[in-house]
Chain A
Amino acid sequence: MKRILGALSIAAVMAASTVVQAQDIVLQALFMKQTAYSDKDVRDMTNDFEAAHPGIKVNLEFVPYEALHNKIVASISAGSGGYDVALVDTIWPAEFATNQFVDDLTSLVPPRDPIFGGAWKTGEYDGKIWAMPWILDTKYLFYNKDILAKAGFDHPPATLDELTQQAKVIKDKGLADYPIVWSWGQAEALVCDYALLVQAFGGQFYDESGEPAFTKGGALKALQFMVGSIKDGISNPRSTEFLEEEVRNTFSSGRAAFALNWTYMWPLANDPKQSEVAGKIGIVPAPGTPEGSPQAAINGSMGLSIMRNSDKKDAAWQYIKYLTSQETQDKYASMSLPIWKSSYADPKVVKGQEELIKAAETSVAIMYNRPTKVQYQEISTLLQQQIQSALLGLQSPEQAMKDLASQTSGMK
């Protein structure tokens, strides 16, 4: 009898604790755990959404950025029962739209004007919108004010030449072994840093007729700059195994004077619990060159898409609409800035992050896009390897880019 009672009480507890009811719509959503909104932010937003939308529940899943693309693809290829909503990077809509992995959202999205043009670019391919912009992000130059002051500089570098020159002084004075730190590990993060420098040197990946342009001009100069800065010892040679988090760790521990990173490093490097340089850092748009672009910024934005094989598309769109609304974005504006133009004039958003907003006003307007290619993943994989082989001195920048051109010829 006791045993039966025990079993019954367990069953009762289980029934009571099951919040999901039979008639609830349950969405499966895939996010990343890296840069931009923290997983806690996403959980909080989702809880608010569930409270405001009785009848819809959302199951969240977080993966590292490096696994996001393949996770989406694997889920699509498995047929039904995959994700309803997924976070999609700005470099994927060409591939996802061509293969019809995601739905066309053009008729659903809000009017264009109140949202930044660079944000729309995130999910756009072939004149249609495949992902609703959500994370508006670009890379900024972070600098350590203490180190710069000790080296005798009262302003951050305005050009790449000045960055090199300040870094040399900082190194010579022994204020940092390697003044600049980058995310140059073999991953997409490397392509983001490289593309930003391509813009800075006024180069391009492909010319108007679609022919490779990375073998010459600004694109080649960008790679030569990277290789040179490692040779001169002003860039941390360990950058070749770093992703964004290692850049943050190095910069937050005060061992680098300069770092290139996304918005999320601003609140975290200013958090005394996680950083030894809190309150001593500055942020500016990444510097460019006089012959290229005066400043540089990479479009690292991401959007939310509805998966083609979802059977709960209405609820999925409601969820996306909620996450991308101005109200939600303004509330969580510290890790990722809103896509909405008018938010930048809202004192609630600006307060406490004036420096970031000031840098964003310049950077967001000039965000540079990586090439829009259906076979982007493959081109990028080869590009990462060739850049690394040049950075590690296995071959010259010229040869690396020439090899890349022959490896990627014919890719669309």
Chain B
Amino acid sequence: MFIIVLGVTGYPLLQTIWLSFHSRPLAGHDVQADWVGLANFKTVLENAAFRAAVARTLYFTIVSVLAEAMIGVMVALLLDQEFRGRAFVRALLVLPLAMPTVVSAMMWRLIYNPEYGAFNALLLQIGLIDDYRSWLGAPGLAMNMVIIAEVWKNFSIVAIIVLAALQTIPRELYEAATIDGAGPWARFRNVTWPGILAPLSVALVLRTIEAFKVFDIFYVMTRGGPANTTKTATFFVYDESFAFLRAGSASSYALVVVAISMVLIAIYVRLLRRQDQP
């Protein structure tokens, strides 16, 4: 088992670390690797465009994960209520999750299409805009439009996990709280919230890691445009290796992205530990 893990994750990781200290073309007649020390990392950290991309990716991560958390919890609370057709609606929840990101990204690109997209048609009909406009071609706006698509795709994982947690909270606790005179908010604050906090945190950790290394949804929807305003950190890894053929510095970009993810994970782990302590 140890050997399998070592082979599957260890070797590529070590290879990437080794490459990041070398200058080596991705392919070609002369794939000799020259030791360059920390020069690749210097290039990465001094690249203002990359720093901007990291900030952009953090914005994407924070906003989309927060939105997924809020919508996810609200939907879970709704679906925890008894109503007709509940099983059907719960099944619907799985739909966005079951869809490959590339497919949902294509779908949202069509929805946002500036010439015949449904989004334009909807806003025009309810009178919010008076002419069709470009959503993915406008700097500033494009990022937020992709975030909407991302939240649609992923809020249900949060909802499903929270829903499962809600069902483990004993009903007696709610009854007891009601008898003690607790209103809806107090019941949520004192009964529901402690019950869902731990699973919710785990869901958010997973979502944060996923969101920070985002690539596919942007690749399909905007390819980093307009004017790089949706170019996320992972685009630099992709471009550096496959478009510019520099395997060495591409590895450095990749490792910096990993390092930032690890910082995010560390913050979460600390927060979770703190919750455990009374």
A: which residues have CB within 8 A of B?
A: 66, 69-70, 73-74, 76-77, 95, 98-101, 177, 185-187, 237-238, 240-242, 246, 249-250, 253, 255, 375, 377-378, 381, 384-385, 388-389, 391-392, 394
In addition to A69-B242, A185-B225, A241-B222, 10 A-B residue pairs with Cβ atoms within 8 Å of each other are: A73-B242, A74-B242, A101-B28, A177-B131, A238-B134, A242-B137, A249-B115, A249-B116, A377-B244, A381-B243
Decide if A378 touches B243 in the complex (CB within 8 Å): yes
Decide if B226 touches A240 in the complex (CB within 8 Å): yes
Tell me whether B171 is interfacial, beta carbon within 8 Å.
no
Given A77-B27, A238-B134, A385-B228 in contact, is the A185-B139 Cβ separation under 8 Å?
no
CA distance A70 to B136 in the complex (A): 24
Closest residue of chain A to B28 (Cβ to Cβ) is A99
Tell me whether B223 is interfacial, beta carbon within 8 Å.
yes
Count of chain B residues with Cβ under 8 Å from any Cβ of A? 29
Decide if B223 touches A185 in the complex (CB within 8 Å): yes
Tell me whether B96 is interfacial, beta carbon within 8 Å.
no
Tell me whether B239 is interfacial, beta carbon within 8 Å.
yes
Q: Which residues of B contact A388 (CB under 8 A)?
A: 225-228
Q: Which residues of B contact A100 (CB under 8 A)?
A: 28-29
Could you name 28 residue pairs across A and B whose Cβ atoms are closer than 8 Å?
A69-B243, A70-B238, A70-B243, A73-B27, A73-B243, A73-B245, A74-B242, A77-B247, A99-B25, A101-B27, A177-B131, A185-B223, A185-B225, A186-B225, A237-B137, A238-B115, A238-B133, A241-B114, A241-B137, A241-B222, A241-B225, A242-B137, A255-B115, A377-B243, A377-B244, A378-B243, A388-B226, A389-B228
Decide if A394 touches B227 in the complex (CB within 8 Å): yes
Q: Which residues of B contact A77 (CB under 8 A)?
A: 26-27, 247
* Residues 119-135 of chain B, each 1 if its beta carbon lies under 8 Å from chain A, else 0: 00000000000010110
Instruction: Write the nearest CB–CB distance from A248 to chain B, whole angstroms.
Output: 11
B: which residues have CB within 8 A of A?
A: 25-29, 114-116, 131, 133-134, 136-139, 222-228, 238-239, 242-245, 247
CA distance A187 to B231 in the complex (A): 13
Greatest chain B CB density within 10 A among A186, A246, A384, A391 is at A186
Closest residue of chain B to A237 (Cβ to Cβ) is B134
Q: Which residues of A contact B138 (CB under 8 A)?
A: 392
CA distance A98 to B224 in the complex (A): 28
Decide if A186 touches B223 in the complex (CB within 8 Å): yes
Decide if A392 touches B227 in the complex (CB within 8 Å): yes
Closest residue of chain B to A385 (Cβ to Cβ) is B228
Decide if A186 touches B227 in the complex (CB within 8 Å): yes
Q: Which residues of A contact B239 (CB under 8 A)?
A: 381
CA distance A98 to B29 in the complex (A): 9
CA distance A391 to B228 in the complex (A): 13
Given A70-B243, A381-B239 in contact, is the A76-B27 Cβ separation under 8 Å?
yes
Q: Which residues of B contact A255 (CB under 8 A)?
A: 115
Q: Which residues of B contact A95 (CB under 8 A)?
A: 245
User: Which residue in A69, A177, A240, A375 is a CB contact (below 8 Å) of B134?
Assistant: A240
Closest residue of chain B to A78 (Cβ to Cβ) is B27
CA distance A238 to B133 in the complex (A): 7
Q: Which residues of A contact B225 (CB under 8 A)?
A: 185-187, 240-241, 384, 388
Q: Which residues of B contact A98 (CB under 8 A)?
A: 28
Decide if A186 touches B224 in the complex (CB within 8 Å): yes
CA distance A237 to B134 in the complex (A): 8
Decide if A73 touches B26 in the complex (CB within 8 Å): yes
CA distance A377 to B222 in the complex (A): 18
Given A385-B227, A388-B227 in contact, is the A185-B137 Cβ separation under 8 Å?
yes
Greatest chain A CB density within 10 A among B28, B227, B228, B242 is at B227
Closest residue of chain A to B244 (Cβ to Cβ) is A378
Q: Which residues of A contact B115 (CB under 8 A)?
A: 238, 246, 249-250, 253, 255
Q: Which residues of A contact B242 (CB under 8 A)?
A: 69-70, 73-74
CA distance A185 to B138 in the complex (A): 11
Instruction: Write the nearest CB–CB distance from A367 to chain B, whole angstroms.
Output: 25
Q: Which residues of A contact B238 (CB under 8 A)?
A: 70
CA distance A190 to B116 in the complex (A): 22
Decide if B26 touches A241 in the complex (CB within 8 Å): no
CA distance A246 to B239 in the complex (A): 25
CA distance A187 to B228 in the complex (A): 11
Q: Which residues of B contact A186 (CB under 8 A)?
A: 222-228
CA distance A112 to B42 in the complex (A): 49
